[in-house]
Amino acid sequence: MNWQEGVFGPLLAHTLENAQVRHLAEHYDFSRDSRLAQAIVKHTNQVLDAEEKRRQVLRVRPGELLLRTWRGLLILPLRTPEDVSRVVAGERWDVVRRDILDRCAAKYRELFPEASPASVTRFLRSIWQGRVPPGTAPSPLHGPRRQRPWGTNLSDGKPLTELDAARGRLRLNSGPPRPGHLPETFRQLAHFLGTQAGIPPAVQEPLILDLMAFRARFCPRASMLATGQMPLAAMHVSSGRTLWQPTRYQPMAPVVISILAGDEARVLRYSPPGSYEEFLEFHGQRIARVLTEAYRQDGLLSFAVLQWIFLASTGTVSRTVDYYQRRHHVILPCPGTVLDMGRMLTHKDMVVRLHLQGLSVLEIARQTCHNPRSVDASLRPLTRFLFYTFTGFPPN
């Protein structure tokens, strides 16, 4: 297995179909790899897609960015299974990104055929600004992590209001979705389940309604989204106990994130950041907002997902997240921090510092987007060290 498959391979399993099959395996009498469940999911989605196409109902798929213009809606497929498969197969990321930008430019010209090349360039800049702002001197923030000019005191500030993890722990109670399909479509699906799949009549109705509800959550209608928003099938916050399993068996959460909010699109088009520090600060706010929005909806976004969302490299995403956390003294809810994955000391250092300031375990867990058990695990070596230091017992 090459490194591309290990990094981007899980993105191919974060799909609506896998979430529906997993739901059928958990709540109905199907196995996790049931071909019958896969056939039911495929046929149901095809029937619902055909019905909504006749009714001209527009839905936004996971990985598509919705933009509202004065001429109508503009849906840009930033992450498609075909593009991810190309990178997994070994194709260079910059080549795939160039094709994605060309596809976005073609959709923009379809809606605005009279647009000049400069207008198209400004539009693409709102999707991907570039590697480094042109005409700037080399920044020390672009070097290795240990050689960057960080401050030594990282825990003086308080978490920002928009990054309050206490609110992120509250699950969004949006209520059951209302798919709103025609009665004849429901009867057609029930007939298929009874004659082709052998599903009992008592199970047909709840099964169809569950599949419709999953589809409505993972693929919301375009009328339900604001401009600059994107739906995603993200890793669930409760997937920490199933990380050893294949990605298609792990729980997924439907989330809606804001890629462009406020006047960010206008800033990127007409006055983008001019220095690398401004570049990290501006895009750090965007990444922090996206991670927090997903966390409030019980979802976690890895660096590989952020790379496809912002069309940036993994190094740029890592430097941006690291810069924002150290600059604003916060811990962003990434899989590595929430699920306590990896050996990075950033969040562990902040846990110890907050503990020395007198905060309780629950307060530390809220501020660092951690589980209280993970906080205890980080503080246990400190407790042993203090015990051996003040009692004089040898560590062994």
Q: Between 390 and 22, where is the model more confident? A: 22
Beta bridge partners, 255, equal 232
Whether 93 has a pLDDT exceeding 60, the answer reads yes
In Å, how far are 174, 295, 313, 355 from 91, measured between CA atoms? Answer: 40, 31, 14, 46
Confidence of residue 344 (pLDDT cuts 50, 70, 90): low
Q: Check if the beta carbon of residue 323 is closer than 8 Å to that of residue 285.
A: no
Whether 243 has a pLDDT exceeding 70, the answer reads yes
Q: Between 373 and 138, where is the model more confident? A: 373
User: Can you give the pLDDT at residue 350?
Assistant: 74
Whether 276 has a pLDDT exceeding 80, the answer reads yes
Residues in Cβ contact with 17 at an 8 Å cutoff, skipping those fewer than 6 apart: 38, 41, 42, 45
Residues in the chain: 396
In Å, how far are 51, 132, 155, 156 from 323, measured between CA atoms? Answer: 48, 15, 14, 16
For 200-226, what is the mean pLDDT? 92
User: Can you give the pLDDT at residue 78?
Assistant: 93
User: Can you give the pLDDT at residue 35?
Assistant: 94
Neighbours of 125 (CB within 10 A): 16
> If you ran DSSP here, which 8-state letter would residue 161 be given?
G
For 133-183, the pLDDT digits (tens) are 555 566 666 666 666 655 444 433 344 444 433 333 333 344 456 667 888
Which pairs with CB-CB distance under 8 Å and at least 24 residues apart come from 387-390?
Answer: none
In angstroms, the CA 26 to CA 250 distance is 11
For 310-339, the pLDDT digits (tens) are 999 888 898 899 888 888 877 888 887 777
Mean pLDDT across the chain, nearest whole number? 83
Percent of the chain with pLDDT over 90: 53
For 94-123, the pLDDT digits (tens) are 999 999 999 999 999 999 999 999 999 999
Confidence of residue 206 (pLDDT cuts 50, 70, 90): very high
User: Can you give the pLDDT at residue 99?
Assistant: 95
User: Can you give the pLDDT at residue 80?
Assistant: 92
All structural domains of the chain with their residue ranges: 3-131+181-343
User: Can you give the pLDDT at residue 388?
Assistant: 72
Confidence of residue 247 (pLDDT cuts 50, 70, 90): confident
DSSP assignments along 340-374, one per residue: T-S--SHHHHHHHHHHHTT--HHHHHHHTT--HHH
User: Can you give the pLDDT at residue 230?
Assistant: 95
For 280-293, the pLDDT digits (tens) are 899 999 999 999 99
Query: Reduced to 3 states, what is the DSSP secondary structure of residue 77?
Result: strand
Of 384, 383, 346, nearest to 368 by C-alpha is 346
Which residue has tokens 């980080």? Answer: 378
- pTM comes to 0.82
User: Can you give the pLDDT at residue 382?
Assistant: 76
In angstroms, the CA 150 to CA 141 distance is 9
User: Can you give the pLDDT at residue 288?
Assistant: 92
Q: Check if the beta carbon of residue 124 is closer than 8 Å to that of residue 298.
A: no
